[in-house]
Amino acid sequence: MPQSSPARSASASTASAHTASGPARRARTPAVDTACAEAVDLARDAADDTAWPGQAGEHLGLRADGDRVVTHCFECLDPAYVGWQWAVTVTRASRAKVVTVSETVLLPGDDALLAPPWVPWLERLRPGDLGPGDLLPTASDDVRLAPGYTQVDESVEREAQWEPGLGRVRVLSQEGRDEAAARWYEGVGGPRAPIAASAPAQCSTCGFYVALAGELRKLFGVCANEYAPDDGRVVSADHGCGAHSEAVSLPAVSEHNPPVIDELGYEVLPSPSRIEDAVPVPEGEASVVEDAASLDEEALGHS
């Protein structure tokens, strides 16, 4: 069979592609085929078969998708797909009178309830989503990381002066350090945490404060006090809590306040024993004083 030359085929393909995508393209609206347009009953039967055990609703219209290709639309009566419609495409061969069904699909209409737009997993990921056994790959162009050079020039020396790499492929970049510092400073280990507002002093003066390495040591460290709520966590230098190493105010042994005596509501009188010692009592009246003393003790609950 005769074959065309490759150069001619390539030029023809280029011209065809330019015509299809370039400004010289003329879109031709296909004409509605009469036989396919009249095949409403055939399209309804196909829609009923696909929607079984339900049925398709009323005919919503048709559109021409090509030469001798027409799509009929029917209302979907399924309560789970309100606003959707059955689209049945029918066609016929050239110079043929028999119309056949090409495909039947369920498509959303203008008022259909659709799922929210798909979001890549990297944008859906949140802190705390990573669990045991999960793997979180890092993109090769992650701006938070920089090459871990051991021999650098002046252009990247600032990136690696605190993090030389020591065999690591990548280390934190300046942007990565800034993001981490902002996140830590605004978190529960920063100065605006409720526990830091009532702290006796800042973490920078605490003996349990272990400063980080690199540029982050200027503002952050790790708490090493096992009794502190931030033990083993990154805290800022101006953070604080009640477990400060130099806190000298020890809590009281008893949680109860000392008793308060109201001396304004009554008059303090000497006891009967002191009255006997201070004032001599005649023999005839001694029994009266003893009876009065016994009555006072009974009134106070003594026996």
Q: How confident is the model at residue 279 (pLDDT cuts 50, 70, 90)?
A: low
The pLDDT of residue 148 is 66
Averaged over 8-25, what is the pLDDT? 48
- Judge whether residue 67 has pLDDT over 70: yes
Q: How confident is the model at residue 246 (pLDDT cuts 50, 70, 90)?
A: confident
pTM across the whole model: 0.40
Averaged over 46-62, what is the pLDDT? 92
Average confidence score pLDDT of the chain: 76
Amino acid at 226: E
Give yes or no for a contact between 64 and 27, defined as CB atoms under 8 angstroms apart: no
Task: For residue range 130-158, list pLDDT tens digits in order.
Answer: 667 766 666 777 777 777 654 444 554 45
The pLDDT of residue 119 is 87
- 3-class DSSP state for residue 206? coil
- Judge whether residue 51 has pLDDT over 50: yes
Q: Is the link from the previous residue into 53 a cis peptide, with omega within 30 of 0?
A: yes
C-alpha distances out from residue 2 to 5, 7, 258, Å: 10, 15, 115
Question: Dihedral (C-alpha) 177, 180, 183, 189: value to the nearest 10 degrees?
Answer: -110
